[in-house]
Amino acid sequence: MNIEKYRALLCAIEKGSLSAAGEELGYTPSGMSRMIASIEEETGLSLLIRGRNGAVPTKDCQKLIPYFSKIILAGEELQKQTEEIQGLDTGHIAIGNAYAFYYDWLAETVSEFCSMYPSIRVTITDGASSELVQMLKDYRLDIAIVSRRQDLPMWIPLKEDRLMVMVPSGHPAAQKGIFSVADLKKEPFIEIFPGKETDESIFFRENNIKVNVSHSVQDNIAAASMVRAGLGIAMINETELKMCRREGITAVPLDPAQRVELGIGAGDMETACSALKKFLSFIMPRIKEAGLS
């Protein structure tokens, strides 16, 4: 089964460019164009709109993306099953991670696993929990460390994580040791990952809280620096505090306390590839050894 052309199409959509996708996958622009044209001929549909700003999927293509992902998954599974019959340990495991706190453990675990199974390729993608969960549903990831979302067939709980507020150390909340939820609207707020659904944005939405966003940043460390400079307050998962602790900042819990459940999400294990099952069997005892659950 030739799945490379479908992989090329999805990569072009993700990158927004045929040339960028070709560079990543090792194809020339003409080779990429031929593969896209082949799928368009098979489906009888125009799939990409190409212009100066790159390539974007047509409305018809957007409807077919989940099915293209399934074709890739089925092709990979066919290859894996064939190799299993031949007695080979091969495959590809795509892992997502939403929390920097877990990277040290995850990287060491993947390294150890790959040394035992050198023919199994493992890739790691980062992102916010909601986007990683969507990638699980679209078959672009096999497992992901995320905060809990609905409709995940498999869930391995890791920990309950508090939502914390970072304030300058001289802030009244630093002396109290708590930050009232009611006071969130009164302070300049530094938004982390604007436009993405995060644990914090879900909390605001569910509680009808509209904060006064004064600045927006793309990572927790930048937010911590801005808090220290007195530009506002920021909200962060307690798990992530280790990565951005510094002098001049105090992190305090919300009052009333707000928690999210972190864990490992995955799709239906009945249809999971053997490589993923091997990996899960490998990591389960290591999760307990590392005190992650």
* Contact of 211 with 233, CB cutoff 8 Å: no
Predicted confidence band of residue 203 (pLDDT cuts 50, 70, 90): very high
Give mean pLDDT, residues 164-186. 95
Per-residue pLDDT tens for 84-110?
665 556 788 999 999 998 999 999 999
Task: Give the gyration radius of the chain's Cα atoms.
Answer: 22
Measured over the CA atoms of residue 89, residue 94, residue 98 and residue 100, the dihedral's sign is positive
Helix (H, G, I), strand (E, B) or coil at 63: helix
Give mean pLDDT, residues 71-89. 74
- What is the predicted pLDDT for the residue at 229? 95
Query: What length does the chain have?
Result: 293
Q: Which amino acid is at 233?
A: I
Q: Is 23 exposed, middle or buried (CB count within 10 Å of its CB: 0-12, 13-18, 19+)?
A: middle
Predicted confidence band of residue 112 (pLDDT cuts 50, 70, 90): very high
- What is the predicted pLDDT for the residue at 234? 97
pLDDT above 70 (res 210): yes
Dihedral over alpha carbons 146, 219, 100, 293 (to 10 degrees): -50
* Contact of 224 with 244, CB cutoff 8 Å: yes
Q: Which residues contact 23 (CB under 8 A, 6 or more apart)?
A: none
List the domain boundaries for the chain: 1-88, 161-260
- What is the predicted pLDDT for the residue at 267? 83
Predicted confidence band of residue 293 (pLDDT cuts 50, 70, 90): low
pLDDT above 80 (res 269): no
Question: Do the first three CATH levels of 1-88 and 161-260 match, i.e. the same topology?
Answer: no
Given CATH 2.30.110.10, say whether it is the number of domain 161-260.
no
Rounded-to-integer distance, Cα 218 and Cα 228, Å: 17
pLDDT above 60 (res 130): yes
- What is the predicted pLDDT for the residue at 53? 76
* Contact of 80 with 91, CB cutoff 8 Å: yes
- Look up the CATH architecture of domain 1-88: Orthogonal Bundle (1.10)
Q: Which amino acid is at 50?
A: R
Rounded-to-integer distance, Cα 256 and Cα 254, Å: 6
pLDDT above 60 (res 50): yes
Q: Distance of CA 114 to CAs 43, 90, 108, 145, 275, Å? A: 38, 11, 10, 19, 11
- What is the predicted pLDDT for the residue at 44? 95
> What does DSSP assign to residue 179?
E
* Contact of 158 with 263, CB cutoff 8 Å: yes
At residue 159, φ and ψ (nearest 5 deg) are: -165, 160
Out of 20-24, 36-40, 260-264, least confident range: 20-24
* Whole-number average pLDDT of the chain: 90
